[in-house]
Amino acid sequence: MTRFKIGVADTAFARVDMALIAIKEIEKSVTGINFIRYTVPGIKDLPVAVKKLLEEKKCDIAIAFGMPGPTAIDKQCAHEASLGLIWAQLMTNKHVIEVFVHEDEVADEEKLYRIAENRARKHAQNVLKLLFKPEQLTKEAGTGKRQGVPNIGPIRQRR
């Protein structure tokens, strides 16, 4: 069996350890995965962390976790980090699953935690689908699936 390496990048700025949640979720489903975790101070540091994981540590795929704050500058920084993660994908020709939970998605901290936990788990499952069952994602195309919040479903059912 091929031993996959999954790069996990996260930040000290985040208020939930989504990386650990995702690692545990993957470990529940698959054995023999090698995780390499790289924690950086803030969200704009994620692109270089991911690029290093993919190139220097030879990870097959990466997942990046961030928790931008509620201010306009936080949202701008999240957008810039997202662009950097896209560039990292294009430069390495490998998938980077971006998992951002914005602090102002909900006001209640317990609900925010549940969103972060759900999003981390579901994106961890997406990583497994990309590695082991990409055809499953094709079956899910157009179904309105969401991570962290309830699925909204398709506009029209498939024919």
CATH classification at residue 20 = 3.40.50.960
Q: In the numeric block, which tokens belong to residue 60?
A: 């097959």
148 is a domain residue: no
**What number of H helices and E strands is found in the chain?**
5, 4
| DSSP-derived 3-state class of residue 18 | helix
Residue type, 5: K
55 is a domain residue: yes
Using CA atoms, how far apart are residues 11 and 104, in angstroms rounded to an integer? 18
CB 121 within 8 A of CB 25: yes
| DSSP-derived 3-state class of residue 51 | helix
What domain count does the chain have? 1
150 is a domain residue: no
10 is a domain residue: yes
Proportion of the chain above pLDDT 90, given as a percent:
83
- pLDDT tens-digit profile of 80-91? 999 999 999 999
pLDDT along the chain (159 residues), means of 10: 87 97 96 96 98 98 98 97 98 98 96 97 97 92 81 78
Q: Which residues pair with 97 in a beta bridge?
A: 63
